[in-house]
Amino acid sequence: MMGDEKEVNDAAKDITKEELMDHIAVLSSDEFQGRGTGTEGEQMSVDYLVNELQALGAEPGVGDTSFVQSFPLLGQTTYDHSMKVRSGVVGSSLMDLSFYDDFVAWPSNQGLSVDVKNAELVYVGYGIQAPEYDWDDYKDVDVEGKIVVIKNNDPEYDEDLFGGRARLYYGRYTYKYEKAKEMGAIGAIIIHTTPTAGYGWSVVSNSWSRERFYVKAPADAPANPTLFNAWITYDRAVELFKAAGQDVEALLDAADDPSFRPVALGGLRMSVGLRSTYREIFAQNVVATIPGSDPNLADEHLVLTAHFDHLGVTQPIDGDAINNGAEDNAAGVSAVLEMMESFKSIQPVIRRSVTAVIVSAEEVGLLGSEFWAQNPTVPPAKVTANINLDGMNVYGPTNDLVIIGLGRNSMADLVVQEATMAGRPVYPDQAPENGIFYRSDHFNMAKVGIPAIFPNPGREFLGKPAGYLELVDSLSAANYHSVNDEVNEYWDLTGAEQDTRIFFKAAVKALNSDALQTWTPGDEFEATRLKSLELDKD
């Protein structure tokens, strides 16, 4: 280990389950009202975090003068929905789709209304353009002014193509909407199936029918040609394709062929009407830095992320309306605070700087980390790596450890090294088809090229009774995003203590390495990283 090994080991031992619990108890208390974005509970959280970071000796991370990065959000509520399909521009109505049951849709340009009349429909397979795989679902077909209909996920039939079973960013709905915008489509509709989404229609309908938040677009933002985005149920897609003389299953299967070409849903025209209202709120990230000791490397940073927000106050269940978010994610925030305190204690032996970016608005769409990534307090080319802590092992020690992103970059390799020294095997994501890598704040770091990892709790519990894993799984499922996410009788932070110590030691290695951390050659984010580093040289 670089630096004073005994000093680093002693600093790691200062990370204790008792101190982890102290922060969790405060942040997840009823007093903080569930830490909802833009609420009094958020402000209380920010005040607490700033006080703790100041007390441990960290420096302001926003312009060297502030610990707080404020950013505007727009809350969008969509109403007065209509989606109709006709045969021909003036033909009779074939189907009148029902919002929530058949489709969900929303304006994609932060506009007040959408009034699309008789637009053509084009099925574009997965809607992917990936030059590195010689894959182009759009080919030379012009979709400008048309509505594209898209298969969810990415091809899974070849382990050497799109990561095989592992869902890449190409398989995420966000990519598909972004690509449709780039191609000039007037609207984009994803066909939902449970296998291709990894969740049922109720998740889609519930998520997209409520108020949604977005980082407010600047006044000079380029015009968005895509007026609306949407999901449609599989059953309605079957009817839609049938009306066009097509078999939806045949075309879903055809999307797996690299030679697939877009298919016009001949003769059909779709009209979409939407109305939205907006409210503006401000959210706050908390950013703090501990400068490195090497004058040649101190302008390079390791970034630790954790989101402090949760769901706030919702409808009461058995008299309890506060979503305390103890595991998700007071636990991750606590681990970051404890790591920062230990870094401060060994500041003379860490060469690079370490920055904590404790973000808001994760629960409403990873928006705090999105804002930081687009308005970074440290240039991404100067960030060696990101460790994102979102949910910790709160149910006891495990033999193993899981890393979402294992094998994808050298930061993950450093965690493996430390875990191996502790006699603990490290496993990859056991359900890569669900695309967990793209569902927490490290994803926004990866999008700007930063080698990022997302450690998860292990599964091989030690010293617990038979059936304990099944109990933990049931507790986690029942507590996730509910008023039940509180410290309970089964909590045992010994596992969180051990895991956090490993992350700390691995982080020290990254801070003291002669070189920046890297993506594994061929990774989907490598090109962005290399471009970022090249631009930094200029």
Q: Residue 102 — pLDDT band, cuts 50, 70, 90?
A: very high
Q: How distant, in Å, are the alpha carbons of 142, 355, 362, 535 from that of 529? A: 31, 19, 24, 10
- What pLDDT does residue 271 have? 96
**Is residue 282 predicted with pLDDT exceeding 70?**
yes
Dist CA 532 CA 537 (whole Å): 9
pLDDT surpassing 90 at residue 538: no
Give residue-wise pLDDT tens across range 38-59: 999 999 999 999 999 999 999 9
Tens-digit pLDDT profile for residues 332-344 = 999 999 999 999 9
What are the pLDDT digits (tens) for 175-195?
999 999 999 999 999 999 999
In the predicted structure, residue 3 carries a pLDDT above the cut 60: no
Which residues are 150's β-sheet partners? Answer: 190
Span 350-382, pLDDT tens digits:
999 999 999 999 999 999 999 999 999 999 999
Res 244 pLDDT > 90 = yes
What integer pLDDT is reported at residue 92 of this predicted model? 65
- The C-alpha atoms of residue 23 and residue 332 are separated, in whole angstroms, by 10
| pLDDT, position 199 | 84
Whole-prediction pTM value? 0.90
pLDDT classification of 409: cutoffs 50, 70, 90 = very high
pLDDT of 283 > 50? The answer is yes
pLDDT for 324: 97
Quote the pLDDT of residue 423. Answer: 98
pLDDT at 1 over 50: no
* pLDDT, greater one: 82 or 220: 82
Distance between CA 363 and CA 66 in Å, rounded?
24
Write down the domain spans for the chain. 78-278
Which residue has tokens 């092992």? 393
Of 75-89, 387-401, 403-417, least confident by mean pLDDT is 75-89
d(CA 512, CA 351): 5
User: 165-193 b/e with 16+ CB inside 10 Å = b?
Assistant: ebbbbbbbbebbbbbbbebebbbbbbbbb
What mean pLDDT is reported for the chain? 95
| Helix ranges restricted to H, 14-158 | 17-27, 40-56
Partner residues linked to 402 by β-bridges: 427, 456
Q: Stretch 65-92: mean pLDDT, rounded?
A: 88
Write out the two tokens for 447.
Answer: 């999008």
Which amino acid is present at 273?
G
Which CATH number does the domain 78-278 belong to among 1.10.150.80, 3.50.30.30, 3.40.50.720, 1.10.357.10? 3.50.30.30
* CB contact set of 288 (below 8 Å; sequence gap of 6+): 53, 58, 59, 60, 61, 67, 340, 355, 356, 358
Averaged over 251-268, what is the pLDDT? Answer: 96
Q: What is the DSSP letter of 395?
A: B
Q: Which distant-in-sequence residues (6+ apart) come within 8 Å of 205 by Cβ?
A: 100, 101, 104
pLDDT grade for 228, boundaries at 50, 70 and 90? very high
